[in-house]
Structure 1
Amino acid sequence: MRKLNFSINQIKAYLEDRNINTTIELMEKEIDLIEKEIMPLVLLKKDLEKKVKVLKDFQKIDDYEKIKIEKIAARKIIFIEESMSKEEEVDLAFRKLEARNDSKLFLFANKDMGVFIEEESMKKGDYTVYENAFFFVDDNEEKYNTILPEGYFATLVYKGGYEKSQPLFEKMMEFIKKEGYTINGSPMEIYRLDIHGTAEKEEFITEIQIPVRK
């Protein structure tokens, strides 16, 4: 009864005058408490099931490093504003994000992590300096920083270490220019499978997304 936030006087009154109605009321309150405790686990289970499906789908990809133009729906994100370049710095930024909202963000759940490419460095042709590490969050999430608008993106998925990002970004920029597109926002690197999910560098899966328009 203390766990159900009953006061000492309420507990005393119940113990001195127990009957079927008061017992039913107590049990109903306990059911409500159990439901509240179960719900986070149910949501986490659903997130994990989604992540398993996503990873299995990525395992089936047979056209890694192929550039595609895709229309992607609007997405909510939580981010931290911080410039970074080394892998350790990116990981630290994600840890800071987790600490900010531990009940919502799970590294092993369906919370894909990513970084935006710093604009000034990008103008110089350097795609290895990042800013604003972020997590995607569910559409029904009420706590978020901003919404990435729906639009068209040049996308590319690759396996292996992050040293592949720079030449692949250059390849995508050439494709965008050749096909008559222009960049329409901040390019992103999204870490679909990284050090948190595998110790094998060759198994890392990274997706590059660059918003574009004709």
Structure 2
Amino acid sequence: MKEKYTVSELSRLFGISNQTLRYYDKIGLFKPNYVDKENNYRYYDYEQFFCLSMIMQLKRLNFSLESVQRYSSSMDMNSLEKNLIKTKELIHKQIEQLNQLESRNDRILQNLHIAKYAAEYQKCEVVEEPTRFQYAIPINFEIKDLYHYIKVVYESYIRSRYATHMAQHGEIVLQIHKENLQNRDFHVYNSIGFFIESNAEVVKGSREVVCIEQGKFATCVHCGPYGTIHRSYQKLYDFIEKQGWNICGDSLEFAVVSISLTKDPESFITQIQIPVQKGE
């Protein structure tokens, strides 16, 4: 077995760069045990393999170099345990963030799919939707005043206690009350807000954040300007009635393709969902 290993040899053995080893030497984290006085070459010995292996394991666990250095100096097992517990908590948070990122990615992919095959989605159908949460303010307005009330809901949200806890929000959501839907009054909205990433515990006792329960929704998409969307509501209402469903809650209306993606109102795509249940 060799007694001394150069920087390049150790680099190849452990799959790290020469530059990284030199940096560890510079900051005093992992220094060669032997330096040739004649040519200034640095050499590591076999016993140092275990120290480098420990450093690399801790780095893979996202330990900072400062934390690695403190542990390598003290070799305090209790301190290492505390750091590992803290790292585990951070890993769980990162997993949660990645899951949220995946969910947002899936929603955008779904919207792109709807936009690509809009003609198919114009057909009415009943789908199962998961539990969702919505920040909403009750207010009556017509579609011509939409952009004014979008500003209103954002200003309300910024002032609310939820903004710091639930920074991630989704599409603007408009609602028409169940009673108005049953009376075929599709011209006046009764609420505006947006979907938020939250959970039941966070919003407990809230008046602004509501839980939209999992269930069946009659749905279709409207293609074109918002000014004609009442026609799609009428089409969806007729479908619900014909299929023997009953409207059991407020509608949800949100953009798939809106002014954020196109300036042409003829290219707007909006999804309408109405909660339903089978009539007795």
Return the TM-score normalized by structure 1. 0.67
Q: Is the CA contact 1:80–1:93 (under 8 Å) kept in the aligned structure 2? A: no
1:101 is paired with a residue whose SS is: coil
Which runs of 5 or more structure 1 residues have no equivalent in the other structure?
Answer: 1-14
**Corresponding residue to 2:222 among 145, 158, 161:** 158
Greater relative contact order structure (CA < 8 Å, 6+ sep): 1
CA RMSD of aligned residues (A): 3.5
CA positional deviation for 1:174: 2.7
Matches within 5 A, 1:4-153: 19-21=74-76, 24=80, 31=87, 35=91, 38=94, 42-43=98-99, 45-61=101-117, 62-68=119-125, 70-85=126-141, 86-95=145-154, 96-97=156-157, 100-107=162-169, 111-119=170-178, 121-122=180-181, 125-137=184-196, 142-144=201-203, 145-151=210-216, 153=217
Larger Rg: 2
Q: In structure 2, what is the Cα distance between the partners aligned to 1:78 and 1:188?
A: 10
Task: Tell me the secondary structure at the aligned position of residue 63 of structure 1.
Answer: helix
Q: Give the residue type in structure 2 aligned to 1:59.
A: A
Q: Distance in 1 between matches of 2:261 and 2:168?
A: 12
Change (3 A) 1:93 1:193: farther
How many residue pairs get matched? 193
Amino acid at match of 1:162: Y
What amino acid maps onto 1:146 in structure 2?
Answer: C
Whether the aligned pair in 1 keeps the contact of 2:133 and 2:199 (CA below 8 Å) is: no
Partner of 2:236: 172
* Secondary structure of residue in 2 paired with 1:156: strand
What is the Cα deviation at residue 157 of structure 1? 0.8
Distance 2:244 2:254 in 1: 25
**1:19-54, CA deviations, whole angstroms, 9 ceiling, x for partnerless residues?**
343985796588568658856753553244223311
Q: Is the 8 A contact 1:83 1:118 kept in 2?
A: no
CA positional deviation for 1:126: 3.0
TM-fit CA distance, 1:166: 1.0
- In structure 2, stretches of 5+ residues that fail to align are 1-69, 204-209
Contact 2:166 2:197 (8 Å CA) reproduced: no
One-letter amino acid of the counterpart of residue 19, structure 1: S
Write the letter of the residue equivalent to 1:206: T
Runs of 4+ in 1 over 6 A off after TM superposition: none
Tell me the alpha carbon deviations over residues 79-106 of structure 1, each in whole angstroms, 9 at most, x when there is no partner.
3232142212441254133663244243
The verdict on how the C-alpha distance between 1:19 and 1:92 changes in structure 2, with shifts beyond 3 A counting, is same
* Deviation sequence 1:58-84 (CA, Å, 0-9, x none): 13323242222x141441212323214
